[in-house]
Amino acid sequence: MLIAQDWKDYRLLDMADGEKLEQWGKITLIRPDPQVIWKKKANPDLWKNADAHYFRSRSGGGHWEYNRTIPESWDIRYKDLRFNIKPMGFKHTGLFPEQAVNWDFMMDKIQKAGGKPRVLNLFAYTGGATVACLAAGASVCHVDASKGMVARAKENAALSGLAGASQRYIVDDCVKFCERELRRGNRYDAIIMDPPSYGRGTNGEVWTFEDKIFDLVTLCAKLLSEKPLFFLINGYTTGISATVLENLLKVTLPKGTVTSGEIGLRAESSRLILPCGIYGRWER
């Protein structure tokens, strides 16, 4: 498992009974997490000082309850990258801190390659990977079906002083965009994707991971340049293992080095590791 352990503005303080206690900058949040099935808190006193708590509803969704007034949004830093954090619906904050291990991987590959490699970031959300690749010197095409998330990605790039970097932001269905890019003859030196378990495109297109991911990766393989750097898939779909992503990359991409595994965060109070997702990486 790869553990994101270089954070200074984010801390996983404790976790128990289906919830995790986190510190984002100076703000402490309690959020649900289905992986936390043990009920014993390592440091119960810490939980009493949380600024806000997200409660799930039995009928779906949920709501935030605030123990004190906090900013509507605030900024945190990972190394030289900066991101805007905002409590949103369905427990989200606009950033997945465990993804820092993938940011480091991408930045290292891009910096070692030199030049200005072209990177395609699909299902790109608020642009954590986009900001990392821009900071490393790449040219990035950021694609997501949510106009609001794309706007936040632009804000994150600007926060990191990258507003003038080579970047393109597209609000579109990722599959349709890739099909058009293939017809246009556009190619990319690296592709990143963070496909959801289930979703709908801009025109109501239904996406399910199990049914669609093979065809998408096969399509994206055709978008790679003659000497690509890497291909990265992030996964959060229940029931899909890291080995599945590894197999998928092996059967769809050219010969190269393929690795896979889990990514996670370590709780400071207990030193237990919280598994947060899986990855599959192809490298030339």
pLDDT at 58: 81
pLDDT over 70 (residue 14) = yes
Nearest CA-CA partner of 23 in 277, 211, 267? 267
pLDDT at 244: 98
At 162, which amino acid appears?
L
pLDDT at 60: 79
Percent of the chain past pLDDT 70, that is, above it, reads: 99
CATH no. of 97-283: 3.40.50.150
pLDDT at 65: 97
pTM over 0.85: yes
pLDDT at 117: 98
Whether 144 contacts 123, CB under 8 Å = yes
Phi, psi of 81 (to 5 degrees): -100, 145
Average the pLDDT over 39-43 and give the result.
Answer: 98
Average the pLDDT over 238-262 and give the result.
Answer: 97
pLDDT of 67-124, one tens digit each?
999 999 999 999 999 999 999 988 999 999 999 999 999 999 999 999 999 999 999 9
Residues 6+ apart with CB under 8 A from 110: 117, 119, 133, 136, 137, 138, 190, 229
Q: Other C-beta atoms within 10 Å of 279: how many?
A: 23
**CATH topology for 2-91?**
Immunoglobulin-like (2.60.40)
Nearest CA-CA partner of 67 in 57, 53, 77? 53
Question: pLDDT band for position 259 (50/70/90)?
Answer: very high
Mean pLDDT of the chain: 96
pLDDT over 70 (residue 31) = yes
pLDDT of 184-227, one tens digit each?
999 999 999 999 999 876 677 788 999 999 999 999 999 999 99
- The span from the CA of 49 to the CA of 102, in Å, is 31
Domain boundaries, the chain: 2-91, 97-283
Contacts of residues 274-278 at CB distance under 8 Å and 24 or more positions apart, as own/partner, are: 274/12, 274/15, 274/20, 274/33, 274/35, 274/36, 275/1, 275/35, 276/35, 276/96, 276/98, 277/96, 277/98, 277/234, 277/235, 277/236, 278/234, 278/235, 278/236, 278/240, 278/241, 278/242, 278/245
